[in-house]
Amino acid sequence: MKERFLVTGGTRLEGVVKVDGAKNSVLKLMAAALLAEGTTTLHNCPEILDVPLMAQVLEGLGCEVLIDGQTVHITTPAQISPNADFDAVRQFRASVAVLGPLVARCHEARVALPGGDAIGSRPLDMHQTGLEKLGATTRIEHGAVVAEAGELVGAKISLDFPSVGATENILTASVLAKGETVLDNAAREPEIVDLCEMLNEMGAQIEGAGTSTLVIRGVDKLAPIEHTVVGDRIVAGTWAYAAAITQGDITVTGIAPRHLHLALSKLKLAGADVETYDNGFRVRMDQRPKAVDYQTLPFPGFPTDLQPMAIAIAAIADGVSVITENVFEARFRFVDEMLRLGADANVDGHHVVIRGVERLSSTDVWSSDIRAGAGLVLAGLVAEGQTVVHDVYHIDRGYPSFVEQLSALGAKIERVSDSKHAL
């Protein structure tokens, strides 16, 4: 049944919200459990749609998966299937994270080309090149990426772009390779650090996590462990921007503020008061936000996943903002929906120029991806009247209890189905 959110604007958000584990980490950690026979247990897992989807993928490979609230138990058998060419894999992008572990454990893999958010081209060429440097042969065949390797041997690999997905698959393949792998221009995201920490806990030998150069010394075998997932910086950033947009006051816990340093700095420039703590931060805004320019870049730059929130705040800011998208070329689809809400925005290539208006006007809008959906809800919070956000299953893939948490902060928002609202 299709569901949508009804968002009534004009309410100031205030209160405390706790952030759970990161979507962009937990799914990759679940895939990494394939590397060790036995039961791996993950704590602080977000209760989002993609977690049971990844569980289906792992079960299709022969694992047993038990989801108990925010704890996930994954039991990996001695023999796993190398074939991940089935429907669950095609439903979301993170499923490709099983490629590296399968090549490492089985010396072969067939992984269906993944689906996921409509935010632009995300080819697997760097994944394939990295695996080939380790000794595998790869090809795209019948809608799947196929990799075969008699033996994986460490190598020096340099990425053309610090791709998170390619870094993850090269990491998980090389931890069981013979010899030393040096990965240059690696992704530096906190979720990559979380993966490295879990792999090291399992017995891997990885140095340089959080830097652009990773050194991996292959080992013969890994062991299952218990691990706590790092807090979700994108969800935390969404709450930070929700506070600023609604001229509210929100304290966010469960997140290391250093993971959002630049995003919080931009809010300070916009006029917000920002206080940071060991395990969280507080954002308070008592005035209309000032216009600020944004440029998305890989970590530690401004996250592309927070670009819709940057556009939303720029739309009601005092002045002109220029937002530059350097990661995913199709992410400006979000701007079309903001125009429906009365934003004054013009797209020019990978730039959008936004002239802030004092207030947006409500209408029906459609989510094209997880973050665009959340950004539209934030925009609806400062639009006159009631905004209807459609295709909210996208939001449910990345934000646990989104409606409930917003309501607890004072938002007027309701989840409805087709039976309660007709187009």
- Cα(325)–Cα(43) distance, integer angstroms: 34
400 has a pLDDT exceeding 60: yes
Range of the domain at 325: 3-19+231-417
Region 258-268: mean pLDDT is 98
Residue 400 lies in a domain: yes
- Cα(131)–Cα(51) distance, integer angstroms: 26
258-262, 286-290, 329-333: least confident range: 329-333
Annotated catalytic residue, options 20, 117, 232, 369: 117
Pick from 413, 14, 417: nearest CA to 244: 14
Same domain, 276 and 186: no
Structure-block tokens of residue 7: 């968002």
What is the predicted pLDDT for the residue at 330? 67
What is the predicted pLDDT for the residue at 94? 81
The per-residue pLDDT for range 298-353, each reduced to its tens digit, is 999 999 999 999 999 999 999 999 999 998 766 788 899 999 999 999 999 889 99
What is the predicted pLDDT for the residue at 95? 86
Residue 423 lies in a domain: no
- Cα(158)–Cα(44) distance, integer angstroms: 33
Same domain, 250 and 388: yes
- Per-residue confidence band for 121, with pLDDT thresholds at 50, 70 and 90: very low
- Per-residue confidence band for 419, with pLDDT thresholds at 50, 70 and 90: low
420 has a pLDDT exceeding 80: no
Same domain, 184 and 297: no
Same domain, 336 and 351: yes
Same domain, 183 and 290: no
Q: Tell me if residue 117 is catalytic.
A: yes
Got the DSSP string for 90-110? HT-GGGGGGHHHHHHHHSEEE
What is the predicted pLDDT for the residue at 117? 40
Residue 348 lies in a domain: yes
The per-residue pLDDT for range 219-247, each reduced to its tens digit, is 999 999 999 999 999 999 999 999 999 99
Residue 309 lies in a domain: yes
What is the predicted pLDDT for the residue at 115? 58
123 has a pLDDT exceeding 80: no
Same domain, 290 and 176: no
Same domain, 162 and 28: yes
Our count of domains for the chain comes to: 2
Residue 294 lies in a domain: yes
Region 145-171: mean pLDDT is 95
What is the predicted pLDDT for the residue at 90? 79
Pick from 191, 186, 166, 208: nearest CA to 27: 191
Mean pLDDT, the chain, whole residue set: 94
Region 127-141: mean pLDDT is 95
In the chain the first and final C-alpha atoms are separated, in Å, by 14
Region 33-52: mean pLDDT is 96
Structure-block tokens of residue 61: 């490979």
Q: Which of 180, 210, 228 is the last residue of a domain?
A: 228
Determine whether the annotation assigns residue 160 to a binding site.
Answer: no
Pick from 8, 410, 19: nearest CA to 249: 410
Determine whether the annotation assigns residue 290 to a binding site.
Answer: no
Same domain, 9 and 56: no
Region 153-175: mean pLDDT is 96
Determine whether the annotation assigns residue 93 to a binding site.
Answer: yes
- Cα(198)–Cα(250) distance, integer angstroms: 31
Same domain, 215 and 235: no
- Cα(161)–Cα(163) distance, integer angstroms: 6
What is the predicted pLDDT for the residue at 113? 85
Question: Which residues lie below 8 Å from residue 272, measured CB to CB, with a gap of 6+?
Answer: 243, 244, 283, 284, 285, 289
Region 361-382: mean pLDDT is 95
E strand or H helix at 268: helix 261-269
User: In 3-state terms, what secondary structure has residue 269?
Assistant: helix
Q: Could you tell me the maximum CA-CA distance found in the chain, to the nearest angstrom?
A: 63
Residue 264 lies in a domain: yes
Residue 422 lies in a domain: no
What is the predicted pLDDT for the residue at 133? 97
The per-residue pLDDT for range 373-398, each reduced to its tens digit, is 999 999 999 999 999 999 999 999 99
Q: Which of 211, 228, 245 is the last residue of a domain?
A: 228
Same domain, 171 and 107: yes
Helix/strand/coil percentages in the chain, nearest 5 = 35, 30, 40
* Segments of 234-328 assigned E as strands: 249-253, 273-277, 280-284, 294-295, 320-324
Same domain, 136 and 224: yes
Residue 212 lies in a domain: yes
Determine whether the annotation assigns residue 23 to a binding site.
Answer: yes
Q: Which of 212, 228, 244 is the last residue of a domain?
A: 228
Q: With 0-12 CB in 10 A as exposed, 13-18 as middle and 19+ as buried, what is 418?
A: exposed
Same domain, 370 and 400: yes
- Read off the CATH number of the domain in which 296 is found: 3.65.10.10
Determine whether the annotation assigns residue 389 to a binding site.
Answer: no
423 has a pLDDT exceeding 70: no
